[in-house]
Amino acid sequence: MPIFSSAQADRIERSLARVERLLAALVRNFNLNLEGAEQMAGTLQDILDRVTTIETVGDSTITLLQTLAQELRDARANDDQAKIDEIIGRMDAQAREMAEAVIANTPAAPPPEQPSA
């Protein structure tokens, strides 16, 4: 007999897909920040500080995902539906928080260039 109902498995899959999309956005943001860093005037230390911050966020995200995955495995092994629902709720909350952070820290696209007359 499956540990998760079809609806629960769908919720978990949607949550994981949302986290994957957010991680992809973080990677894109990371790449944009690196590209921007190459173009920015500033000291090498400023650039290193930004990279360290980005790496820290990435490491924290990886740790969060590993922790949630282990908690899900543990809850599934113990057939603890309440814990599974709690973890899914935490995953959804983290996905929203990461989405807001990515949006807040993604530079706006430059306006299109006007054709010269």
**pLDDT the model gives residue 36:** 61
110 domain residue, yes or no? no
Question: Is residue 37 over pLDDT 70?
Answer: no
Give me the domain span that covers residue 59: 6-105
Q: What DSSP string runs through 3-65?
A: SS-HHHHHHHHHHHHHHHHHHHHHHHHHHHHHHHHHHS-S-HHHHHHHHHHHHHHHHHHHHHH
Sign of CA dihedral 7, 89, 104, 64: negative
pLDDT band at 117 (very low <50, low <70, confident <90, very high): low
- Tokens coding 114: 């006007």
94 domain residue, yes or no? yes
114 domain residue, yes or no? no
Q: In total, how many domains does the chain have?
A: 1
Q: Directed axis angle between helix 6-39 and helix 81-105, to 10°?
A: 20
44 domain residue, yes or no? yes
22 domain residue, yes or no? yes
- Tokens coding 74: 């543990």
**b/e burial code for range 51-63 (CB count within 10 A of at least 16 → b):** eeebeebeeebee
pLDDT in tens, 38-54: 665 567 777 778 788 87
* Average pLDDT of the residues of the chain: 79
pLDDT in tens, 94-111: 888 887 877 887 777 777
